[in-house]
Structure 1
Amino acid sequence: MEKRVESVGLPAIKLIPIEDVAVNSGTGGSKRPAKIAQPTDIRLVKVLEFLRSTNLAPNTRKLYERELKRFLAWTELHYHELRPRHFGQYKEYLMQEVRTDGNKPLSKSSINAGIAALKSFFKWMCLAYPDIIATNPTLSIKLEKVPLPPAQSLTPEQMERVLSALELLGETKQRDTALVHILSHGLRAGEIVQLNVGSFDGKLLFLPDTKTNEPRLVPLRQSSRQVLTEYLQWRLEQGEELNSLSPLMISHHASYKGDRLSYHGIYFAIEKIGELAGIEDLHPHQFRHTYATDLLLLGVDPTHARKLTGHTSEKAFRCYTLRSEQEAAIAAYYRAIGEEQQQE
């Protein structure tokens, strides 16, 4: 389409619809279909900021991202438009309409995972952006009641097999022995990743960054202090220069040798030890369960035990107290009937 403005002698103006073509100057002005970028969901920007700014374990971060994206796909409302009733409707959606890959309804635990992600995110939003959300709209939505899972503690016999398996390791023996000793004091894998040489003062481990965002001191038993000291001395003998900011646990992987041991590296190391020990699906968190359970069986006050493990929720700690209460009840029974408690 051309228009001429004869009165002032201007050249013809050619109008080109912007949705038609785009000129590619790199090919001599040849025309190609225009690519119009999809607009970014500004709500997702806040989700990504939340995931970056919170100290979540990798698996938890992955789960939260999936669940929060599911919620954003369910509603087009902006955060300031959401009301408690919307979250009730979303919970109903999870219960009635969402299906697993096997076309089964979500389990109560899976529904709770989705709700927990929302609760954590909107709690953060209220703190980070009170101008957008002044009151947490997820407070009224309740988690589904599920049976409390038993503590996944390792038996004394399994722990012996783990320690024996360490003797079968090659290059990683020193590191993995120290790793098992640290895990046996209730640390999460994500917390171990952050530890530096300066975190160990010869007796205690200082954790400045934890899942609960509260610093924690972890006292080590004498044998573990010795193992950790020997590991650091071994690294010095290998020619490594250590300072307070050096990673406490290092990788032996060919591509990352000497770098900080990663979260996945910890899981891989423990999985390998489990194979050598003949313990199926051994994972780092089992050592944390074992530590918490043993504290209670030793008679440590639950409040003190929670402080040592870094549990802020009494409810989350309940699976360990159930185990210790059961053990105490069994012991009381044998004392009452005048028999020694049978050892398995």
Structure 2
Amino acid sequence: MVRLEDLHRSFSRHLRAEGLSDRTVTIYGQAITFFCRWLTEQGREATLEEFSRPAIREWLAQLADNGQEPGTIKTRYRGLFRFAGWLVDEGELAAHPMKTLSPPEPKAKPVPVLADAELAALMKACDGKEFAERRDEALIRVLLDCGVRVSEACALTVPLYDDRGRLVAGIDLDDGMALIKGKGAKVRPVYFGARTSRALDRYIRVRRTHRWTHLDALFLTQRGALSADGARERVKIRGEQAGIVDLHPHRFRHTWAHDFLMNGGQERDLKRLAGWSSDVMLERYGASAADARARAAAQRLRRGDRV
């Protein structure tokens, strides 16, 4: 009997060979691990023979019964679906067991955008001249001003140029822009304002004396390059210092998208800057404060006041 965990390892190697990020590989793998754990709890062996449509459907239903968030259940579904497709492609299974199994449709919960008072408190929490304060302010301002994913912020490098002096990676403080490597290894420019440029300049100056200053990675820790998980932890800590409960990097991305649309930005431009390939993401991020934007638009129009 073939153990699912053995196939899991081969599947992970395949995903890495396809160029998927470590985080994506981990998320897909979690679905397999949790499914195997559930099989064991049911007194069943976590083998390929148990990887069937009825078993998968029962597991997903139990996740819902146990109060798991719909979005989490859909993530588990996607992980197993991708795994099942790989098993078929590799000849381990004759047919896709989830082909007729519909994914759960989660109801998107609007993420509250950050108020100016909260952002001011957050900047105050980063006030200081030490390395950690300068780094955290620069990181938070990049997340807020550029609307990048936390993994994209952590992948930023110091300025890297080609033989002709053209920026090929990293940040350009004079032009107020950075080149971001997003999903699918697609590179796109993002732009930031004067205060973010100043914060980055201050951080880069203290970075010069850091033990890992020779690394290309822009944001550093005492262990080397700052990871996405490390950035989430820094944001959470600064949020607690500012009195913001359970602050996570994605709130900056939602706030940035909201501000962009509130100030007359076009959806097609937002889509390009955010690195989205689907219009679905526009709706998801635009929902964070859609009522506020609709009210502001109606108040600006004031059609009845013109007649």
| Normalised TM-score (structure 2) | 0.75
Equivalent AA in structure 2 for residue 200 of structure 1 = I
Matches within 5 A, 1:1-344: 42-50=6-14, 52-53=16-17, 54-56=19-21, 58=23, 61-71=25-35, 76-77=47-48, 86-87=52-53, 89-96=54-61, 98=62, 104=66, 106-121=68-83, 140-167=100-127, 170-184=130-144, 185-198=146-159, 199-202=170-173, 203-208=176-181, 210-236=182-208, 238=209, 246-251=216-221, 253=222, 256=223, 259-323=224-288, 325-335=290-300, 336=302
Unaligned runs of 5+ in 1: 1-37, 340-344
CA distance, structure 2, for counterparts of residue 212 and residue 194 of structure 1? 14
Task: Quote the sequence identity (%).
Answer: 23
Q: What corresponds to 1:23 in structure 2?
A: none
In structure 2, relative to structure 1, the CA distance for the partners of 1:131 and 1:94 (3 Å cut) is: closer
CA distance, structure 2, for counterparts of residue 180 and residue 263 of structure 1? 13
Q: How many residues align?
A: 282
- Asked whether the equivalents of residues 289 and 320 of structure 1 are also in contact (C-alpha less than 8 Å), the reply is yes
Answer with 1 or 2: which has the greater Rg: 1
CA distance, structure 2, for counterparts of residue 242 and residue 290 of structure 1? 32
- Asked whether the equivalents of residues 95 and 106 of structure 1 are also in contact (C-alpha less than 8 Å), the reply is no
- Asked whether the equivalents of residues 4 and 47 of structure 2 are also in contact (C-alpha less than 8 Å), the reply is no
3-state SS, counterpart of residue 207 of structure 1:
strand
- Asked whether the equivalents of residues 122 and 238 of structure 2 are also in contact (C-alpha less than 8 Å), the reply is yes
- Give per-residue Cα distances to partners, 1:122-158, cap 9 Å, x unaligned: 56778xx577789977565432222221033211221
Equivalent AA in structure 2 for residue 231 of structure 1 = Y
CA distance, structure 1, for counterparts of residue 21 and residue 134 of structure 2? 28
Shift of 1:165: 1.4
CA distance, structure 2, for counterparts of residue 312 and residue 61 of structure 1? 20
In structure 2, relative to structure 1, the CA distance for the partners of 1:169 and 1:274 (3 Å cut) is: farther
Equivalent AA in structure 1 for residue 153 of structure 2 = I
3-state SS, counterpart of residue 216 of structure 1:
strand
- Asked whether the equivalents of residues 179 and 189 of structure 2 are also in contact (C-alpha less than 8 Å), the reply is yes
- Asked whether the equivalents of residues 32 and 79 of structure 2 are also in contact (C-alpha less than 8 Å), the reply is yes
- Give per-residue Cα distances to partners, 1:210-265, cap 9 Å, x unaligned: 234322221222221232123212323x377856x5220010x4xx2xx1112232
Shift of 1:105: 5.8
The one of the two structures with greater contact order (alpha-carbon pairs below 8 A, sep at least 6) is 2
Shift of 1:107: 4.7
Equivalent AA in structure 2 for residue 175 of structure 1 = R
- Give per-residue Cα distances to partners, 1:8-60, cap 9 Å, x unaligned: xxxxxxxxxxxxxxxxxxxxxxxxxxxxxx978642232221454454464x5
CA distance, structure 2, for counterparts of residue 207 and residue 143 of structure 1? 32
CA distance, structure 2, for counterparts of residue 112 and residue 39 of structure 1? 24
CA distance, structure 1, for counterparts of residue 210 and residue 105 of structure 2? 55
- Asked whether the equivalents of residues 296 and 320 of structure 1 are also in contact (C-alpha less than 8 Å), the reply is no
In structure 2, relative to structure 1, the CA distance for the partners of 1:246 and 1:330 (3 Å cut) is: same
